Amino acid sequence: MASPVKDGLPQELQGFREVQRLAYACAEAVAARLEPGVTEREAARMQREWLRERGVRDWFHLPFAWFGDRTAFAGFKVPLQFFPTNRKLEPGMPFILDMAPVHKGFTADIGYSGCLGLNPLHDKLLTDLEVHRALILDEVRERRSLREIYEDVERLMIRQGYANRHRAYPFGVIAHKVDRVAQRRWSPRLFGFGTQSLKGLVSDAVHGHRDGWSPLWSPYRFSDHPPQPGLWAVEPHLGFRGTGAKFEEILVVTDSKDPEQSAFWLDDDLPHVRRWAEERVAA
Amino acid sequence: MSLQDVPGFRERRVRTGGIELCVAELGDETRPTVVLVHGYPDSKEVWTQVAVQLAEQWHVVLYDVRGHGRSTAPEPLRGGFTLEKLTDDFLAVVDAVSPDRPVHLVGHDWGSVQSWEFVTVMRTEGRIASFTSMSGPSLDHFGHWIKQRMTRPTPRRVGQLLGQGAKSWYVYMLHTPVLPELAWRGPLGKQWPRILQRMEKVPAGDYPTPSLPNDAAHGAWLYRDNVRARLRRPRADAYAHVPVQLITPTGDIFLSEKLYDQLEVWVPHLVRRSLPAKHWVPRTRPDQLASWISEFVAANESALEDGRPVPDTAPTGAYADRFGGQLVLVTGAAGGIGRATAFAFAEAGARVVAVDRDAEGAARTAEMARLIGSPAAWGEAVDVSDEQAMEKLAAKVAAEYGIVDVLVNNAGIGLSGSFLETTSEDWKNVLDVNLWGVIHGCRIFGGQMAERGQGGHIVNTASAAAYQPSRALPAYSTSKAAVLMLSECLRAELAERSIGVSAICPGIVNTNITATTHFAGADADEESRLRKRTSRLYGLRNYPPEKVADAILEAVAHNRAVVPVTPEARASRFLSRLSPGALRGIARLKPPL
């Protein structure tokens, strides 16, 4: 479980990039198959089967799917409400697919927002996520404390008129570390989370606790430290009156002195990034 | 202005079934036709203001119902006013004024009752494009409504029956022979204009017309010829074959809102509207009616042209029936409670003017409001404490967007610190925004509302600090207490003009106010520490501004006087009455900062 970045293993990053692309390909394939009447459970199962067919055996967490106002976690009180329900998709409804497959020992954790048909409000939310991606990267490169970055992102959301909905995640995290995972023939899951991955997270938490950092990027005091080198799955999540949108992708943090190299998004060829580029061209 | 003096007014006589109807027309004949049908005891002049406004866009047709105004009465009167004959009249008028295009029908009171007959009988199919109903139910639907409640009389249903039964007292009176005619031709006819002014707040003018005693005496036969027959044997097939817009005045003393409870059964395409007014809405709320009618006609016209059903894009937010199309102005709308309020009104379909010192924030609020259901929204950068800027804003709003229906004076700033350390500059700043901002808003926009004379509502954001004394917020509490009392006084004064005033006392709400609050007596570092600390505490309390916004909409819809919102605001409001001493004790505690 040594830091994969420090040893400068582009092949390793390549592995992460591949599984992230695989996950996004899955999201796009499943999103294309969504139609009115499909339930969240069915959408989650489609993601699981699609990835299983392509060799995924272990998970950081099993796929989630949220439809309608559940994309903004409306009325979420207990974590069990994150799990897919029998909510049916309707025309114009926003949806979010969120999955974290482990492939060949590499983990990805992605979030994909879309909607069935036209929804100008949802488009607006997706567009407004772009500045958050830039803000997070800039402030990580400046080596601000994670807690500070969290607060800046939240302030930006409020200025945009949105609610911070990643606060609803366990520990209110905007991001968490991901890492390589040992491949076992049997990896049971605890509440949808793969035990191998949880083991990695817990061991990071224990080590980090000794050294004053945490693998969870939260608004709390334990995140009041500069970004720790490694791979972070970052997931800013906007909510606006029953409509939610997020992206989730891996941010690579290294201990390089060169700001460009000290932090970068693992992959810039992702659906939401392409979408923003297309919007700019159209404008 | 009387109807005859309106430019473009023309009149014709239409002969049908042995009588002659007086038909008036306004507006461009090539435009779609809107037919206005008056009620009892009225003549077509009841529509004057509405017709003038509609004529800017549509071909407007009004006619005197048989026996009313300048139309002749049938001989004999008995049996001459049945709904079948009224339908004949309507078809004759429509054939004369719009022979090859279906018309948009609007009815008030008995005009609406007969229009319900027009839109539910087969022989008018293809001749009507839409129907706007106000204060007049279908007698058939009413008959079924009574039957339902008689056959299964639960306590609630009995209550509804008795309620409407009491409101219908005049219907029983009209069924007595001769007496109504004598009364109308005698003292009642003479007193009627005064009664309307006093009881119904109908403004004086060219209405009622001198023909009133005759209209009222003849019109009694509308009731005698139809009511008993239809209520006893309501038609079972009274389904509307056109889209219907139902406008319900909530203060109608003749008709209960409950009458329309299951109207969706009879009307496949129903749009509901409600407005706080009494029975004679064409006289008391012409602007609102004209805009709702125009909007409904336009939607149905474009649907007719495209050959598709009317798209179901009506706003879905709470109170959409009440605020749809209204103009709402919110100050301090770039964040917190103001922004949430603007969004809540937008969801209800209101047009929103978002005002704030922060131009970018106000524009952002307007932009998002348009995305969630507001037909139009604008951001305006104005400092509410600047009287001239407010005057300019009011002139601009009135000229470009119209008269404000709901004004929310919400802009406010925080100021904390002991009284002895609060400088007079601090006092001036907080009073300028928190109190003078509200005064300017009420005076300028409230003045416009009062001048228009068609009702409205003013909401002032006070605070729980208005009745909860505290050593930490002397200046802020003083400014908010002033706002609370101002609201109460204004409410008393504006009640006679049908303008409601509500004071909202939110309590501890998680907004940006803590991050900009000035702490008197603290240096810059200490101030920023205190801001962070209070923001964190307010964040822990985490009461969302959206809930305050919901309370504001509810306060406007039900015209509440003082609305404490959070539980702590309610508790201290309760204590301020029950044991003010306890509040004084709390006031002495030092806040944990």
Give the per-residue pLDDT at B304: 81
Is residue B536 one of the residues assigned to a domain? no
CA distance B331 to chain A (A): 16
For the stretch B176-214, pLDDT in tens is 999 999 999 999 999 999 999 999 989 888 888 999 999
Neighbour count for residue B391 (Cβ, 10 Å)? 13
My answer on whether B199 and B128 are in the same domain is yes
DSSP H/E element including B411: none
- Which one from B40, B63, B260, B476 is the annotated catalytic residue? B476
CATH architecture of A10-282: Alpha-Beta Complex (3.90)
- Do both B12 and B119 map to the same domain? yes
Of A120, A159, A160, the CB nearest to B371: A120
Q: Which of A158, A161, A163 is opposite residue B368, by nearest beta carbon?
A: A161
Cross-chain Cβ contact A158/B364 below 8 Å: no
In tens, the pLDDT along B391-436 reads 999 999 999 999 999 999 999 999 999 999 999 999 999 999 999 9
Residue B460 has pLDDT above 90, yes or no: yes
pLDDT for the residue A4:
44
> Does residue B315 lie in a domain region?
no
State residue B158's pLDDT score. Answer: 95
Element (H, E) at A88: none
- B-side interface with A, Cβ within 8 Å? 335, 339, 343, 347, 361, 364-365, 368, 371-372, 512, 544, 546
C-alpha atoms less than 13 angstroms from C-alpha of B75 in its C-beta half-sphere: 4
pLDDT at A5 over 50: no
Residue contact B364–A121, C-beta within 8 A: no
Long-range CB pairs of B480-488 (<8 Å, 24+ gap) are B480/B412, B480/B434, B482/B435, B483/B409, B483/B434, B483/B435, B483/B438, B484/B460, B484/B562, B486/B435, B486/B438, B486/B439, B486/B442, B486/B460, B487/B458, B487/B460, B487/B462, B487/B561, B487/B562, B488/B561, B488/B562
Minimal Cα–Cα distance from B12 to chain A, Å? 50
Domain of B327, in residue numbers: 321-511+544-586
Do the chains contact at A158 and B512, CB–CB below 8 Å? yes
Say whether pLDDT at B317 is over 80: no
The confidence score (pLDDT) of residue A7 equals: 46
Choice among A8-12, B234-238, B550-554 with the minimum mean pLDDT: A8-12
Angstrom distance (rounded) from CA A96 to CA A235: 12
| Residues above pLDDT 90, as percent of chain B | 90
Task: Please give the C-alpha separations between residue B58 and each of A245, B19, B26, B28, B121, in angstroms, as whole numbers.
Answer: 44, 28, 8, 6, 26
CA distance A120 to chain B (A): 7
In this structure, are B361 and B302 located in the same domain? no
Q: Give the model's confidence band at A6: pLDDT under 50 very low, under 70 low, under 90 confident, else very high.
A: very low
Say if A242 is an interface residue toward chain B (CB within 8 Å): no
A137-155 pLDDT, tens per residue? 999 999 999 999 999 999 9
Q: Of B281, B306, B331, which marks where a domain is finished?
A: B306
**Known catalytic residue at B170:** no
Chain A interface, best mutation among B372, B512, B543, by max A CB count within 10 A: B372
Domain membership of residue B532 (yes or no) is no
Average pLDDT over residues A187-193: 86
Contacts of B371 in chain A (CB under 8 A): 120-121, 124
Position B104 in a domain:
yes
- Asked if the Cβ–Cβ distance from A241 to B512 is below 8 Å, we say no
For residue B388, give every residue at least 6 positions away whose Cβ sits within 8 Å of its Cβ, in sequence order, or none: none
Q: Which chain A residue is nearest to residue B371, measuring alpha carbons?
A: A121
How many domains are contained in chain B?
2
Question: Do B191 and B54 belong together in one domain?
Answer: yes
Measured distance CA(B119)–CA(B475) in Å, rounded: 62
As a whole number, mean pLDDT of residues B244-272 equals 93
**Residue that is last in its domain, among B241, B275, B306:** B306
Closest chain A residue to B372 measured between Cα atoms?
Answer: A121
ipTM of the complex: 0.89
We report the CATH number of the domain holding residue B300 as 3.40.50.1820
- If pLDDT is split at 50, 70 and 90, which confidence band does B2 have? confident
B316 within domain boundaries: no
Tokens at A11, concatenated: 């092949």
Mutation for testing the A interface, residue in B371, B516, B531 having most A CBs under 10 Å: B371
Do the beta carbons of residue B315 and residue B333 sit within 8 Å? Answer: no
For B259, residues 6+ apart whose C-beta sits below 8 A from its C-beta are B137, B141, B142, B145, B164
The Cα–Cα gap between A9 and A43 comes to 35
Q: Is residue A231 helix, strand or coil?
A: strand
Burial class of residue A95 (count of CB atoms within 10 Å of its CB; 0-12, 13-18, 19+): buried
Same domain flag for B328 and B246: no
Q: Which residue of B347, B371, B544 is in closest CB contact with A124?
A: B371
B259 in a structural domain: yes
**Does one domain contain both B205 and B110?**
yes
Q: Look at residue B313 and tell me if it is in a domain.
A: no
CATH number at residue B326: 3.40.50.720
**B377 and B285 co-located in one domain:** no
Say yes or no: B211 and B117 in one domain: yes
Decide if A167 touches B, using CB distance below 8 A. Answer: no
Same domain, B101 and B226: yes
**Assigned domain for B528 exists:** no
Q: Which residues of A190-224 are buried (b: 16+ CB within 10 A; e: fewer)?
A: eebbbbbbbebbeebeeebeeeebbbbbbbeebbb
pLDDT digits (tens, 9 = 90+) for B559-571: 999 999 999 999 9
Considering the domain architecture, whether residues B281 and B341 belong to the same structural domain is answered as no
Q: What is the mean pLDDT of residues B241-267?
A: 93
Claim to verify: residue B298 and residue B152 sit in the same structural domain: yes
pLDDT digits (tens, 9 = 90+) for B351-395: 999 999 999 999 999 999 999 989 999 999 999 999 999 999 999
Q: Where are the domains of chain A?
A: 10-282
Q: Does A160 touch chain B (CB under 8 A)?
A: yes
- Residues B36, B9 share a domain: yes
Domain limit, last residue, from B276, B306, B336: B306
pTM for this prediction = 0.92
